[in-house]
Structure 1
Amino acid sequence: MTGLRLGTTYLRSREKMKSISIRGALASLSLSMLLSSLGTSIANVGLPTLAEAFSASFEQVQWVVLAYLLAITALIVSVGRLGDIIGRRRLLLIGICVFTVASILCALAPHLWLLIAARALQGVGAAIMMALTMALVGGAVPKEKMGSAMGVLGTMSAIGTSLGPTLGGFLIANLGWQAIFLVNVPLGVLAIGLVLYFLPNDRSEKRADRAGFDVLGTLVLILTLLAYALAMTVGRGTLGPLNLTLLLVTVFGLCVFVFVEHTAESPLVRLTMFRNWHMSAGFVMSMLVTTVIMATMVVGPFYLTGALALNAASVGLAMSTGPLVAALAGVPAGRWVDRLGAHRSGTLGLIAMLIGACILSAMPMGFGVLGYIAPLTVMTGGYALFQAANNTAVMADIESQQRGVISGLLGLSRNLGLITGASVMGAVFAFGSASHDILQAQPEAIAQGMRLTFAVAAGLIVIALALGAVSKIVSRRLIAPC
């Protein structure tokens, strides 16, 4: 009896330690996700202060934000693949260190161009963290808990996005603009400690099993993605000669990349993976949905200010609704995915987004701010559910040696959706309002632009729903003969 009790106690202790280890690993990955998203949002609120501090124009200081985003977009796939080769834990530690050191350099920058360079370096660290957090979840969390883990990561990303403006404003007002970068330092040191303590060491592989790194493919992809990102950001949504040239460069670069990957001995991205309809649909759906979400960030401030005549404080409060809902919905959404399954949960999330977009596309101004916030809440809750489901579906059944690059592709699809949404949906809004200067447009014109924007958004969600249905049908047909 004593031996049986000792055995039971040992097993319980072992299970408890395993649970603590899983929670610690998830905490380290969550903090990495928080840092990368906070790095994006906290700098936006500091642009007016930075313009004054460096005696620069808005067009110049906006590169403090753009340099960070461009670095993430250009590198997220490449660093994901590099993690597959040299070890994800090792590269994640390097990424956090780069991010932390770059944060110090940002705070110490005596000139604007040095600050922009430091922000680009910070974006390199953020790209590594974004690419590898989801890749590492697969090895740190049991498969049956994958949805919950993805929900936690989604929550931390939303918290970083919503916390940035408030925390940044407080730090600037009390400690100066340098504080919005220095705040990352203690968080970075904590993240390094958690990763060292809780994440297991990378598994050593035989040299014969290790693939080489595709340098040429990486360079071509980086240049192609930079060309596309610049085409979408330069000129604030206008389609001028420079934008058209950059888009042509993007198309040419994509063709060159496909050729290079077909001929490479160890390609950066194995093009055969896109034969997996389920995975390919997941990438496209992620881009479509984040394009829609970006519409709320682009159109919302203009509608609330120009059509509903809210002051700046009220606009900020209304705009914080979306990130707040995403933060609160992330964990419950992950649990729903574990219970209902990824496909069903993703479909429910898209349906909720469609309902919200349709209401916004038909909403009269007479309903006021509540008429905007209520459907926005439905949309954002649906987005949280879709993201947890889609991330789980894409990352659940892939080979271990491909987790980094596929996680990077998933992150890239979201970033491309945000960049495309800011440009394209902004252009749709301007077209719908029939005004060359949105700031001078009449309230009804702005409301009309908002309705057209969300009508287009509803169409994009319908396309995402159709893609999800088709990928499910194709996957069943491919599995059926087996």
Structure 2
Amino acid sequence: MTTNDGLPMPQRIGAVLTIALGITMAVLDGSIANVALPTIATELNTTAGASIWIVNGYQLVITMTLLSLSSLGDIVGYRRIYKIGLVLFSAMSLLCALSDSLLTLTLARVMQGFGAAALMSVNTALIRLIYPKSKLGRGMGINALVVAISAAAGPTVAAGILSFASWQWLFAINVPVGIVALLLALKYLPANDSIGGRKFDAVSGVLNALTFGLFFIALTSFSHQQNLLYVGFELLATLIVGFIFVLRQLSNPFPLLPIDLLRIPIFSLSICTSICSFCAQMLAMVSIPFYFQRTLGLSETETGLLLTPWPLATMVLAPIAGRLIEKVHAGILGAIGLAVFACGLFSLAMLPTSPDYLDVALRMALCGAGFGLFQSPNNHTIISAAPRNRSGGASGMLGTARLVGQTSGTALVALLFNLFADNGTHISLITAGSFALVAAVVSGLRWKAH
């Protein structure tokens, strides 16, 4: 059980560990299969274009269901949703490893996406129950650290596994980790009071899925320069369905899309900051490997090693930022971190023609340090700005903001590479730095927001 002021030690350690294991798997699997897609396409006798759905299907389902599952967490309890997510994710990981066709693998990845969405939807809500209020920043620091490193380390981890094992092990490795996380969850995760008399709004759930699904499809079509009339139709459909969705939320006392929380200035500013920062992160992390391999002629292993300083710097700064939030305003910390992040991105865009490894590593570390300094205070602000019984909705919005930012960033890379074939990475990094600067300004505005 939990009190209103966190879990006692050592139960807190066990609870944090199960959160860390689950979120690591869910976030890592969003990008871990990218490196192996050519091999998977060859072995399953399918085209490169069709194999993309192994990645897109997973991300699309998470984006479409995250808010619905966070709402369910408020209703039936965060611990229950998290445990269901662990079971489903682990079982579908095993099915992915055993798949012998594109259809079975894609369907397994879609179902795995439901499990990942369950894990992501309530993880920060559980952190709020695990840590006492006075130390919530530390919990958010650890959580931000896990998410940031998992998001950045996917290609590196995949390259390591593929160096001695087949692609099936990219998924099979989740099974023992998932079992350990489930055993820890059963023993250590705290319960929370459900909201009595509240029922899940299924119609809003469908409208939410359609809104984000259509947005994802329209963005993908635009980034691949499909017919503008076709893209315009997809955007129009997104706006119409989204408008109906928002109207329904305005009349709902417990909205799926927490519009009531968005009316809190510091909450909405933090969500905007999160979207911009993750968009900048993905613009860099997706485009840089192309520069390393195509322009500098580096191998996959060298590319993975040069990307590593980013998550390592985040690993150092995120916990420090989590402690600083107890003394320094989150808006100021976030603005400083994002300014450092922007400096790192612009410095990468200005790399000399033949840079040495140390020069590249230092600039990558600068990006990771800035991102780590920003992310913990931002997450802390989003969760603590919401009433305690709306932690699930706040957690879902935090995850949705991250996914919208990452999806937009990835789509922008594809668009910029199509428009600027010769210097796509350079333009992507300049764009990323610009997004980081905008986010820094927005973060600074939170200093006077209440």
Q: What TM-score comes out, normalization by structure 2 length?
A: 0.91
How large is the RMSD of aligned CA atoms in angstroms? 2.3
| Paired amino acid for 2:434 | G
- Please say if residues 77 and 412 of structure 1, whose CA atoms lie closer than 8 Å, have aligned partners that are also in contact: yes
SS of equivalent to 1:398: coil
Residues in 2 aligned to 1:46 and 1:367: alpha-carbon distance in whole angstroms: 28
Q: Number of matched residues?
A: 444
SS in 2 for 1:201: coil
Closer, same or farther: CA 108–235 of 1 in aligned 2, 3 Å = farther
- Higher helix residue share: 1
CA 172–313 in structure 1, closer or farther in 2 if over 3 Å, else same: closer
Contact 2:60 2:216 in 1 (8 A): yes
User: 1:130 pairs with 114, 120, 123, which one?
Assistant: 120
1:114–1:364 CA distance, 2 compared to 1 (3 A): same
Match of 2:169 in 1: 179
Distance 2:26 2:111 in 1: 12
Q: Letter of the 1:456 partner, please give it.
A: T
| CA drift at 1:291 | 0.7
Confirm or deny: 8 A CA contact 1:68 1:122 kept in the other structure.
yes
Give the unaligned 5+ runs of structure 2: 1-6
Alignment pair present for 1:147 and 2:140: no
Residues 33-432 of structure 1 mapped to structure 2, 5 A cutoff: 33-161=23-151, 164-172=154-162, 174-203=164-193, 207=196, 210-234=197-221, 236-241=223-228, 242-264=230-252, 266-431=254-419
Is 1:95–1:129's contact at 8 Å kept on the other side of the alignment?
yes
Q: Which residue identity lines up with residue 305 of structure 1 in the other structure? A: Q
Deviations 1:359-398 (A, max 9, x none): 2344442545544432222122111111111000111242
Q: Quote the sequence identity (%).
A: 29
2:401 is matched by which residue type in structure 1?
S
Considering only CA atoms, is the larger Rg found in Structure 1 or Structure 2?
A: 1
Report the CA distance shift for 1:278/1:374 in structure 2 as closer, same or farther (over 3 A).
same
- AA partner of residue 135 (structure 2): K
Q: Contact (CA 8 Å) 1:285, 1:464: kept in 2 or not?
A: yes
What is the CA-CA distance between 1:247 and the residue it aligns to?
Answer: 1.9
1:175-217 CA-partner distances (Å, limit 9, x unpaired):
4332221211111111111111111233355x3xx32212111
CA distance in 2, matches of 1:422, 1:174: 29
1:473 aligns with 2:448: yes
- Separation in 2 of the partners of 1:465 and 1:46? 36
2:54 and 2:105 in contact (8 A); partners too: yes
CA distance in 2, matches of 1:174, 1:351: 40
**Which of 8, 18, 32 is the aligned partner of 2:8?**
18
SS at match of 1:44: coil
Q: Does the 8 Å CA contact 2:69/2:121 hold for their aligned counterparts?
A: yes
Which amino acid is the alignment partner of residue 463 of structure 1?
V
Task: Report whether the alignment pairs 1:452 with 2:427.
Answer: yes
Task: Give structure 1 regions of 4+ aligned residues with deviation exceeding 6 angstroms.
Answer: none
Relative to structure 2, which stretch is displaced further, 109-118 or 412-421? Answer: 109-118
**Is the alpha carbon distance of 1:191 and 1:81 closer, same or farther for their aligned partners in structure 2, counting shifts above 3 Å?**
same
State the Cα distance separating 1:158 from its structure 2 match: 3.8
Q: Which runs of 5+ in 1 are unaligned?
A: 1-16, 476-482
- Verify the 8 A CA contact 1:73 1:225 in the aligned structure 2: yes
- Partners of 1:237 and 1:329 in 2: how far apart? 36
